[in-house]
A = this chain, B = another copy of it.
Amino acid sequence: MELEFLGTGAGSPAKFRNVSAVALKLLDEVNAVWLFDVGEGTQHQILRTTIRPRKVERIFITHLHGDHIFGLPGFLSSRSFQSGEEIRPLTIYGPKGIADFVKISLKVSQTHLSYPLSFVELTEDGVVFEDNKFKVSCCHLDHRIECLGYRIEEKDHPGELLIDKLRAEHVPSGPIYGRIKAGETVTLEDGRVLHGVDYIGAPQKGRVVTILGDTRQTPGILTLAKNADVLVHESTFGKGEARLARNYYHSTCIQAAKIAQKAQVKQLLLNHISARYVGALATQLERDARSIFANTRVVKDFEVIDIPFKKKGSDF
């Protein structure tokens, strides 16, 4: 599980930061990639990575400002031109209006996609998507336009069978191992009774990633970020600019750090960095945030952040 940042800028593309897009790479988990926002030029950025558009099965849109959606029609069209095996269906989640925008763009350009495309327009906070491996939920944020944040929760992995322990106790291997792993109580030929629960390791806690859209500080952020492994939070403004941030419906690096601390996340990644913050100024943004929440990074375009499992048995 990795995050790959495709666009970490704010508003308009700048020389070193494209407009918003983040890829959540779930290759080991479900052999797929999910995108969060698709600003103009996202498909160009993807060309410079190892991400294959055909693997993008879900796209989550935070809000409909141009710097978050204008790359969508082009990405969808180009994904259609991929040759080879059949292209998997794609689902787009986002605020009301996203379907209209995409449908009209494809209609005007007479683009006929080679794969099924569906839309889930989100009007209420709650679960957006769930299967046996992941649950995604959304919560409204506070931006000038309707805006959502997403919390992606990986389901816990059940504990592994403690084969070494079984062998040490001379339990003969065979189908009985399967029953023990399933947690059953079994009786061996020699009369011993084994309880499955004694031979299964601690379950592996699933990971949690929180990706926000543009937002002022609002209670929904805490709901989304609580105990997350990674919180991706916008930082359009810097220290001492809380008032500006509020006026423009954005946040400062300090506000992001404070909420990261309050939500007890493991790592804070700051994105949506204004073109005003280049070089040393971006470093300062990071330094200011770290004075409050140490494990903070101002991410760059093409930066890849690994999200490791929590240490086994940690009861986080």
Contact = CB atoms under 8 A, between A and B. Distances in A.
Nearest to A13: B44
A66 B70 contact: no
Interface in A77-113: 77-78, 81, 97-98, 100-101, 104-106, 108-111
Interface in A14-35: 14-15, 18-19
Interface string A63-85: 01111011101100110010000
Scoring A11, A70, A144 by chain B CB atoms within 10 A of each residue's CB, the highest score goes to A70
Contact of A77 (B12, B74, B111): B12
A11 to B, nearest CB: 7
Contacts of A37: none
A64 B12 contact: no
A210 interface: no
A278 to B, nearest CB: 14
A41 interface: yes
Contact of A100 (B18, B71, B108): B108
Interface residues of A, number: 38
Number of copies: 2
A1 to B, nearest CB: 28
B145 A40 contact: no
Scoring A101, A105, A145 by chain B CB atoms within 10 A of each residue's CB, the highest score goes to A105
Contact of A110 (B19, B106, B108, B144): B144
Interface in A246-290: none
Contact of A111 (B14, B66, B106): B66
Nearest to A100: B108
Contacts of A40: 40-41, 43-44, 70-71, 73-74
Contact of A65 (B64, B67, B110): B110
A176 interface: no
A47 interface: yes
B74 A108 contact: no
Nearest to A65: B109
A110 B11 contact: no
Nearest to A12: B78
Nearest to A73: B70
Contacts of A13: 43-44, 47, 74, 78
Interface string A101-141: 10011101111000000000000000000000000000000
Given A40-B70, A64-B110, 9 more contacts: A15-B47, A65-B110, A66-B74, A66-B77, A66-B109, A70-B70, A70-B109, A98-B108, A101-B104
The 7 closest A-B pairs by CB, nearest first: A40-B74, A66-B109, A12-B78, A101-B108, A70-B74, A66-B77, A41-B41
